[in-house]
Structure 1
Amino acid sequence: MIVPDISQNAVSVADHYDELDPIYRRVWGEHVHHGLWETGRETPGEAVEALVDTVGDRLSLVPGQACIDIGCGYGSTAKRLAVTRGVRIAGFTLSAEQARYAAAYPVPDVDIQVRDWLDNGLPDASADAAWAIESSEHMVDKPRFFAEAQRVLAPGGRFVICAWLAETDASGWKVGHLLEPICREGRLPSLGTREEYEAMATAAGFTITGYEDVSRRVARTWPICARRLLKALFVDPETRRVALGSRNLFVLSLPRMILAYRTGALHYGIFTLEKAGEDER
């Protein structure tokens, strides 16, 4: 597990997204996650929605199900799946700014809450499906992240995780110059490997039913974001003000992210997990 030299917690994660809110919406868009290029010809917007739809497919969502979006951001992923799959969704974010933006554009059957997933207050076995798109990295206690999903899901429930993953046995320079600074600048309490995620999922009681490394199909997200940021810095005073005055330095990680993907230091994995059904139990 890669751990930054400056410890991070839920408060620092919330501060990161609240302070950089204008930049995230300008540069990363309302979904705040990678795009998935299936053919290579998709627009960035189509690629972002392709990742959302892939998650919906992995979950085998059906109308009427109760779902959880762990680390929901601006709620755009939850809103798309509520509309396209007919499900009911409770979304959790640490950021008050993200929740405020989500509330300004409500969608039926989507409830966005400012609350830490590790203290979610949901009843046992109350959800049919859950997903975490690029939010597990921000969890201070990753084993508990898995344990809470196991507790909240009903028997037979599915859990899909899209995660940034450290290269297994990454060399010293990759850790020191890429992965550890990415954790520090991005407010990631830790960054795990595929093997560590699978071990934590299994320990929590999940069965791993699928894994796919889609690093090559998501990596172009970062050059696109870098170009958007450079343009915004030139033309948008608000972006310049926030970026230059920010205590959060994640904008510095853009070149690191590009290099981390190109060198194999960083991977992007999609896990599909399942809680045992009543008959299996």
Structure 2
Amino acid sequence: MIVPDATQDAVAVADHYDELDPIYRRVWGDHVHHGLWATGRETPAEAVEALIDTVGDRLRLMSGEACVDIGCGYGSTARQLAATHGVSVTGFTLSAEQAHYASAHPVPGVDIHLRDWLANGLADGSANAAWAIESSEHMVDKPRFFAEAHRVLSPGGRLVVCAWLAETDAGGWKVRHLLEPICREGRLPSMGTREEYEAMATAAGFQIIGYEDVSARVARTWTICARRLVRTLLVDRETRRLALGARNRIFVLSIPRLILAYRTGAMRYGILTLSKAREAGTQREPGASMPQETP
């Protein structure tokens, strides 16, 4: 597990996304995650939607199911999957700015909470499916991230995790100059390998259904972000102010690091599909409600 030399926690993660909210929405858009290219001819918007569609396909979503978006950002992924699959979604974000944006763009069946996933308050077995797109990296306690997902899912439920992962056995300059700084600058408490993620998922009780390394198909996201950021810096005074004066301005340095990390193989992008075992005599049934426990 790659751990930054400066401790990162949920407060730091929330502050990062709140302060840099204008930059994220200008550079990344409403979906704060990578795009997935198949032919290379897709537009960035089409590639972003392709990643979401891939998650939906891996989850085998059925109309009427109750779902959880772990680290939902602005709620755009939740809104898309709710619309395309007819599911209801409860989303969780640490960022007040993201939650505010989501509340200003409400859609039926999508409920966004400003709350830490590690203290989510959902009832046992209350969800049929869950996904975490580039949010597990921000979890202070990754084993608990998986344990909470297993607890909240009903028997037969699926979890798809799209994650930034460290190259197996990465060492030397790759850790010192790429992976550790990426964790520190991006407010990641740690970055695991595929093997570490699979071990944590198995320890939580999940069965591993599949894993796909799509690094080559997502890497161009960062060259696109770099171009967008440069253009925005040239024309937008607020972006220049944040890039030069914000507490979290150091994240700008991570963009060239991320480009190099993908090109050298130091960082990987994995899609992990997991399942909670069915109990004897039970089947996965659609469920529209999401009961909550007392906080």
**Considering the TM-score relative to the shorter chain, is it more than 0.5?**
yes
How far does residue 241 in structure 1 lie from its aligned partner after superposition?
1.2
Amino acid at match of 2:13: V
Q: Deviations over 1:162-196 (max 9, x none)?
A: 00000011021000000000000000000000000
Tell me the secondary structure at the aligned position of residue 269 of structure 2: strand
Tell me the secondary structure at the aligned position of residue 92 of structure 1: strand
Q: Deviations over 1:44-96 (max 9, x none)?
A: 00000000000000000010000000000000000000000000000000000
- Could you list the structure 1 runs, at least 4 aligned residues long, displaced by more than 2 angstroms after superposition: none
Match of 1:236 in 2: 236
Instruction: Determine if the alignment matches structure 1 residue 267 to structure 2 residue 268.
Output: yes
Tell me the secondary structure at the aligned position of residue 31 of structure 1: coil
Match of 2:85 in 1: 85
Give the whole-Å Cα distance in 1 for the aligned partners of 2:244 and 2:196.
Answer: 36
Match of 1:41 in 2: 41
Match of 1:119 in 2: 119
Tell me the secondary structure at the aligned position of residue 128 of structure 2: strand
How far does residue 251 in structure 1 lie from its aligned partner after superposition?
1.0
Give the whole-Å Cα distance in 2 for the aligned partners of 1:197 and 1:22.
Answer: 32
Tell me the secondary structure at the aligned position of residue 30 of structure 1: coil
Give the whole-Å Cα distance in 1 for the aligned partners of 2:121 and 2:103.
Answer: 21
Q: Structure 1 residues 182, 280: CA separation in 2 closer, same or farther (over 3 Å shift)?
A: farther
Give the whole-Å Cα distance in 2 for the aligned partners of 1:161 and 1:208.
Answer: 11
Q: Deviations over 1:211-268 (max 9, x none)?
A: 0000000000000000000000000111111111111111110000000000000000
Match of 1:97 in 2: 97
How far does residue 13 in structure 1 lie from its aligned partner after superposition?
0.1
Amino acid at match of 2:151: R
Match of 1:255 in 2: 256
Give the whole-Å Cα distance in 1 for the aligned partners of 2:238 and 2:105.
Answer: 22
Structure 1, gaps ≥5 residues long: none
Instruction: Determine if the alignment matches structure 1 residue 194 to structure 2 residue 207.
Output: no
Q: CA RMSD in A?
A: 0.9
Q: Deviations over 1:134-160 (max 9, x none)?
A: 000000000000000000000000000
Amino acid at match of 2:204: A
Amino acid at match of 1:100: H
Give the whole-Å Cα distance in 2 for the aligned partners of 1:87 and 1:251.
Answer: 36
Match of 1:276 in 2: 277
Amino acid at match of 2:273: T
Q: Structure 1 residues 128, 100: CA separation in 2 closer, same or farther (over 3 Å shift)?
A: same
Amino acid at match of 1:226: A
Tell me the secondary structure at the aligned position of residue 74 of structure 2: coil
Give the whole-Å Cα distance in 2 for the aligned partners of 1:35 and 1:208.
Answer: 24
Amino acid at match of 2:83: V
Tell me the secondary structure at the aligned position of residue 7 of structure 1: coil
Q: Deviations over 1:122-142 (max 9, x none)?
A: 000000000000000000000
Amino acid at match of 1:25: R
Amino acid at match of 1:237: R
How far does residue 103 in structure 1 lie from its aligned partner after superposition?
0.9
Give the TM-score of the pair, scaled to structure 2: 0.94
Match of 1:52 in 2: 52
Give the whole-Å Cα distance in 1 for the aligned partners of 2:63 and 2:74.
Answer: 22
Give the TM-score of the pair, scaled to structure 1: 0.99
How far does residue 280 in structure 1 lie from its aligned partner after superposition?
8.3
Instruction: Count the aligned residue pairs.
Output: 281
Match of 1:32 in 2: 32
